[in-house]
Amino acid sequence: MTGHVLSETSEWTFDLILDYNREIARIASDFGLDTYPNQIEIITSEQMMDAYSSVGMPVGYRHWSFGKHFLNVEQRYKRGQMGLAYEIVINSNPCIAYLMEENTMMMQALVLAHAAYGHNSFFKNNYLFRAWTNADAIIDYMIFAKNYIAECEQRHGEENVELILDSCHALMNYGVDRYKRPPRLSANEERMRQKEREEYLQSQVNHLWRTIPTKQKDATQEEKNRFPREPQENILYFIEKHAPLLEPWQREIVRIVRKIAQYFYPQRQTQVMNEGWATFWHYTILNQLYDEGLVHDGFMIEFLQTHTNVISQPAFDSPHYSGLNPYYLGYSMMSDIRRICASPSDEDRQWFPEIAGSDWKETLDFAMRNFKDESFIAQFLSPRLIREMKLFSVLDDDRKRKLEVSAIHDESGYRSVRQSLAHQYNLGGNEPDIQVYNVNIRGDRALTLRHSQYNRKPLHSNVGEMLKHVARLWGFTVRLETVDKHGRSLSTHECIVEQ
């Protein structure tokens, strides 16, 4: 089937964007992509830098760190060290995708396919996003957060708000529930209930800290009755609910940062899959446009050049090497799954008996819906791809004088390489495991955090500074004890707050 070429030149117009979008949408739905409705916004490069520095949200509260990111992005862009991201897409309903006005028509089409159909369908269907984020409410919630924080700045002073935000940002990665699903966000309810919650929270805290003497218990009993009973992984949540001295507005700010961290948590867990999925689809969709005769050769050559840049992967010994490129890894794996389904080799049949020879669209859809980076790699990285990428794993043990190559792309190494690579994308393994362990309720109110050491990895030397942030929120002395896997205490850090 051959159609009429949509455009001859590289200039874009609003009509052309709609034309391309119509064709891309048709192809995407033929392939079975299920998406939120799209909202496409044309912006300037400066606005792109704005969006970039405020973590991609169209609205955000004010904080110096966003200014820092902006300056950084601006400087690097001006020096030509980086091209701007071609696209930013927001997990919202409707899904907002930004197109930059400087881009050529080819780039706009690429971004449409990549963001407005690739990422969009991922947001809508991946289990983590379905369970943990509420695309309908995020924009409203960000507006609520911005207004609330601006109001706090007026009432309590910019500096005071900034201090709280600094400390919350430092703990942002410890403001997520990893296992328990949080209640859904709703800006309206937030506003309605916020007043109520302020009073309630304060009363709870007061209850915990009431000073009316209770019956003395012996020390061993106290040891058993730790507060909290179970260690808590969500430090910000614990602070929001139990920090003795925080004002209601400060608790609300902690909550806002915590909610935003939670919203971004799935994106941090699915970077390889998400980018791989979007890259796979822009490649597939634009090729389909070409096969149908809707775009000409020049368009495709320009596209292939860009696409190749996006998925370039320098080898480990190249000066440009900075780790694995998630676009490359994700795209290669998605394409590889398609290959395994469509034309499996004997090796594939042996390794992937359940998907070899199946319908590739269904299999990819299944993979996209039900995995995160860690499990996706553990499940689908094939020996053939390990060979193609020439992956090898290196063991760095500080007790040994040299590094050791623990596995390479050979028969005995496939499973081991796959296992280590999957583990590399396990957020839980990369961040220190630090949990709220105990609060000395009856004594000096000191908060004890417990760092369970993993593979003997020590904490970074900034731990003292970090404890200052925790202490600022908690208001009393904060201790951090590092324990090994048997629960033996290895070291303790402390930030003492004089009352």
Which 210-249 positions form the footprint of other proteins (CB under 8 A)? none
Rounded to the nearest 5°, which phi and psi values hold at 459?
-80, 155
Q: Cβ closer to other proteins: 201 or 449?
A: 449
* Minimum distance from residue 203 beta carbon to other proteins (Å): 31
Identify residues 56-115 at the interface with other proteins (CB under 8 A): 62-68, 70-72, 74-75, 78, 94, 101
Token representation of residue 452 = 């369970």
Asked if 166 interacts with other proteins (CB under 8 A), we say yes
Q: Which is nearer to other proteins, 71 or 342 (CB)?
A: 71
273 binds other proteins (CB under 8 A): no
Task: Please state, as a whole number, how many other Cβ atoms lie within 10 Å of the Cβ of residue 401.
Answer: 6
Q: Which residues pair with 447 in a beta bridge?
A: 439, 478
Q: Which is nearer to other proteins, 313 or 358 (CB)?
A: 313
How far apart are CB 344 and other proteins at their closest, in Å?
24
Interaction of residue 492 with other proteins, rule CB under 8 A: no
Q: How far is the CB of 36 from other proteins (least distance, A)?
A: 10
Report helix, strand or coil for 359. Answer: coil
Q: How far apart are the first and last CA of the chain?
A: 79
CB-nearer residue toward other proteins: 196 or 398? 398
Distances (CA, A) of 235 to 172, 432, 436: 9, 13, 6
Of 428, 434, 431, 435, nearest to 226 (Cα)? 435
Q: Which of 80, 77, 99, 102 is nearest to 88 (CA)?
A: 99
Q: How far is the CB of 43 from other proteins (least distance, A)?
A: 5
Among 8, 30, 34, 46, binds other proteins (CB under 8 A): 46
**From 189, 291, 359, 431, residue interacting with other proteins (rule: CB under 8 A):** 431
The residues in 368-427 that bind other proteins, with binding defined as CB under 8 A, are 389-399, 401-410, 412-413, 417, 420-421, 423-424
The two three-digit tokens of residue 29, written as one number: 């739905």
Closest CA to 114 of 86, 137, 134: 86
Would you tell me the crossing angle of helices 360-370 and 326-342 to the nearest 10 degrees? 140
Helix spans in 271-318 (H): 271-291, 297-310
Query: Least separation, in Å, of the C-beta of 135 and other proteins?
Result: 15
Give least dist CB 314 to other proteins, A: 7
Comparing CB distances to other proteins, the nearer of 64 and 209 is 64
Residue 494 φ then ψ, to 5°: -145, 145
* Of the residues 3, 5, 18, 225, which one makes contact with other proteins according to CB under 8 A: 18
> Is residue 34 a contact residue for other proteins (CB under 8 A)?
no
Q: Smallest gap, in angstroms, from Cβ of residue 196 to other proteins?
A: 31
Buried b (16+ CB within 10 A) or exposed e, 184-219: ebbbeebeeeeeeeeeebeeebeeeeeeeeeeeeee
Q: At what angle do helices 414-424 and 373-380 cross, to 10 degrees?
A: 170
Quickly count: other Cβ atoms within 10 Å of residue 470's Cβ.
24
229: left (phi over 0), alpha (psi -120 to 50) or beta: alpha
Residue 136 binding other proteins, by CB under 8 A: no
- Compose the 303-322 pattern: x for residues touching other proteins by CB under 8 A, - for all others: ----------xxxxxx--xx
Nearer to other proteins, 278 or 356 (CB): 278
Min dist. Cβ of residue 153 to other proteins (A): 10
- At closest approach, how far in Å is the CB of 482 from other proteins? 12
Residue 168 or 185: the one with the smaller Cβ distance to other proteins is: 168
Span of 169-177, 185-193, 214-222, 364-372 interacting with other proteins by CB under 8 A: 169-177
Total residues contacting other proteins (rule CB under 8 A)? Answer: 100
Q: What are phi and psi of 240, to 5 degrees?
A: -55, -40
Three-state DSSP class for residue 451: strand
Phi, psi of 438 (to 5 degrees): -160, 155
Which of 47, 202, 375, 426 is in the footprint of other proteins by CB under 8 A? 47
Q: Within positions 436 to 475, which residues make up the interface with other proteins, using CB under 8 A?
A: 453-463, 465-466, 469
Gap between the Cα atoms of 99 and 95, Å rounded: 13
Q: Would you say 8 or 388 has its CB closer to other proteins?
A: 388
The label of the residue with tokens 């003795």 reads 244
The closest alpha carbon to 314, from 328, 301, 332, belongs to 328
Contacts of other proteins in 141-160 (CB under 8 A)? 158
Residue list 332-371, contact with other proteins (CB under 8 A): none
Instruction: With H, G, I as helix, E, B as strand and everything else as coil, classify residue 489.
Output: strand
Both tokens of residue 418?
């796959």
Of the two residues 59 and 300, which places its CB atom closer to other proteins in the complex?
Answer: 59
**Structural contact between residues 341 and 360, judged by C-beta atoms closer than 8 angstroms:** yes
Residue closer to other proteins, measured from CB, 167 or 363: 167
| Cβ proximity to other proteins, 202 vs 424, nearer residue | 424
Among 8, 41, 291, 359, binds other proteins (CB under 8 A): 41
Residue 472: count other Cβ atoms within 10 Å of its Cβ: 17
Q: Which is nearer to other proteins, 56 or 357 (CB)?
A: 56
Which residue number, 162 or 198, has a Cβ lying nearer to other proteins? Answer: 162
